Amino acid sequence: MSRSEFDLIQAHFMRAVKNRDDVVLGIGDDGAALKYSEKQDLIVSIDTLVAGVHFPEPTVPQDIAHKALAVNLSDLAAMGATPAWVTLSLTLPNADEAWVSDFCTGFFALADQHRVQLVGGDTTRGPLSVTVQAHGFVPTGQALRRDGAYAGDLIFVTGELGLGGWGLAAVTQKLAPEYQRLDHTRAIVHLNRPEPRLAVGEQLRGMASACIDLSDGLAGDLRHILERSQVGAVIDAEQIPLPGMYCLQGDRQQALEYALFAGDDYELCFTVSQEKLGQLSPDHWLFSACWPIGKITDEPGLRIKTYDSHGCSNIHTLARSGYTHFDSAD
């Protein structure tokens, strides 16, 4: 029986031994927090994208580069960090100079947008994969974490969920017949060129009690907050922001499935205490830029409130998780 990637990390890489006093926060969040100075902590995150796993084989190099950098910047956003430096490890089947030139065009366009400097890396031969390590800064002790949610906190997300799933289904030609006639351009752009929510992450310092970026689907990623914070949650299916174009086709259920389980959205999911919310003015940016989708509870587990055709609600356990690299069973 194979384990999920998170089971493997928990079983083999998370250790009680602490060899260094400058590790503020280690394995278990979107990035590590390391003591950098008296005023700042250094946030470090790393992700690998593999052809055929994280992006379809025909994806153009500009899009591969953008996404490889964006998913790491999204991790920094989930920690409330301001990005600074990145390193890049590029594994290529062959030395295709035109491909590399196009890759760099996509990579540096996003890097320049966020004033990020490439400071080193490695290039080698093999199946196509891209590894980026990102570094950013937060004021000392202000890194957003996954373990700070408490019962009563409200759960928010920063944007529509499920677009990544629709985009992937479109480019891999796995859409149901009734959706094939639609224009999926926006969903495909969202899949290939996600925009990290760095500005929101910075503004959530001192406000959010817990935060994570949505790379593997709302159900799976929110569950990481619940497990780290040792709490539960109830989310409201009607409050989850879904792409309107797909909902208008009369199949909100399919849109909800992609939001919960598909991944590749790279929005932020975060919690805020009701005390903090009560201190905000009615015109605060949070209320217009983000969507409240549920509440943290004392009862463990993730539950979802759904509604029947008569508007009657039902709360049931959401047992299924989001995307994982390894199956939990044979």
CATH number, domain at 109? 3.30.1330.10
Instruction: State yes or no: pLDDT of 179 exceeds 60.
Output: yes
Query: Which spans in the chain are helix H?
Result: 5-12, 61-78, 97-113, 163-171, 185-192, 198-203, 218-229, 244-247, 252-261, 274-278, 285-289
Residue with the bigger pLDDT between 209 and 243: it is 209
List beta partners, residue 92.
125
Q: Based on the fold, state whether residues 229 and 83 are members of the same structural domain.
A: no
Q: Is 105 helix (H, G, I), strand (E, B) or coil?
A: helix
Q: Are 16 and 56 contained in the same domain?
A: yes
The pLDDT value given to residue 12: 61
Q: Where in the sequence is the domain holding 36, given as residue range(s)? A: 5-139
Section 262-291 average pLDDT: 95
Q: How far is residue 144's CA from residue 45's CA, in Å, rounded to a whole number?
A: 13
CB under 8 Å to 23, separation ≥6 — which residues? 32, 33, 34, 35
> Above 90 in pLDDT, residue 183?
no
**Judgement on whether residues 163 and 301 belong to the same structural domain of the protein:** yes
- Residue after which a domain boundary falls, among 139, 170, 196: 139
Q: Smallest Cα–Cα separation from 129: which of 193, 230, 48, 192?
A: 48
pLDDT at 31: 93
Segment 28-46 mean pLDDT: 93
- Confidence class for position 328, pLDDT limits 50, 70, 90: very low
CA dist 169 and 263 (Å) reads 12
Q: Find the range with the poorest average confidence among 106-110, 247-251, 253-257, 283-287.
A: 247-251
pLDDT at 25 over 90: no
The gap from C-alpha 273 to its chain's centroid, in whole angstroms, comes to 21
Specify if 145 maps to a domain: no
Higher pLDDT, 160 or 309: 160
Q: Which pLDDT tens digit goes with each residue over 44-79?
A: 999 999 998 888 888 999 999 999 999 999 999 999
Amino acid at 329: A
* pLDDT band at residue 246 using 50, 70 and 90 as cut-offs: confident
Give the pLDDT of residue 318: 86
Asked if residue 148 is part of any domain, the answer here is: no
At residue 327, does pLDDT exceed 90?
Answer: no
| Same domain flag for 232 and 91 | no
Q: Which residue has the higher pLDDT, 309 or 89?
A: 89
**59 and 167 share one domain:** no
Does a structural domain hold residue 119?
A: yes
The C-alpha atoms of residue 19 and residue 227 are separated, in whole angstroms, by 25
Q: Is residue 231 domain-shared with residue 170, that is, in the same domain?
A: yes
- CATH number of the domain where residue 187 is located: 3.90.650.10
Does residue 10 register a pLDDT over 70? Answer: no
- Answer yes or no: is 146 within a domain: no
Distance (Å, whole) CA 24 – CA 36:
10
Indicate if 183 and 128 belong to the same structural domain.
Answer: no
In a domain, 286, yes or no: yes
- Residues 109 and 172 grouped into a single domain: no
Q: Does residue 11 or residue 207 have the better pLDDT?
A: 207
Establish if 55 belongs to a structural domain.
Answer: yes
Q: Do 197 and 301 belong together in one domain?
A: yes
Same structural domain for residues 132 and 166?
A: no
Number of folded domains that form the chain:
2
Q: What is the pLDDT of residues 115-167, one digit of tens each?
A: 999 999 999 999 999 999 999 999 999 999 999 999 999 999 999 999 999 99
- At which of 139, 166, 196 does a domain end? 139
DSSP assigned state of 51 = B
Q: Quick check: is 325 in a domain?
A: no
Q: Where residue 13 falls among pLDDT bands split at 50, 70, 90?
A: low
Per-residue pLDDT for 1 more than 60?
A: no
Asked whether residue 208 falls in the same domain as residue 119, the answer is no
Helix axes 218-229, 252-261, angle to 10 degrees: 50
On whether residue 76 sits in a domain, the answer given is yes
Query: Are residues 297 and 187 part of one domain?
Result: yes
**pLDDT-derived band at 293, boundaries 50, 70, 90:** very high
The more confidently predicted of residues 308 and 1 is 308
Residue at which a domain ends, from 139, 171, 206: 139
How sure is the predictor about 28, in pLDDT bands with cuts at 50, 70 and 90? confident
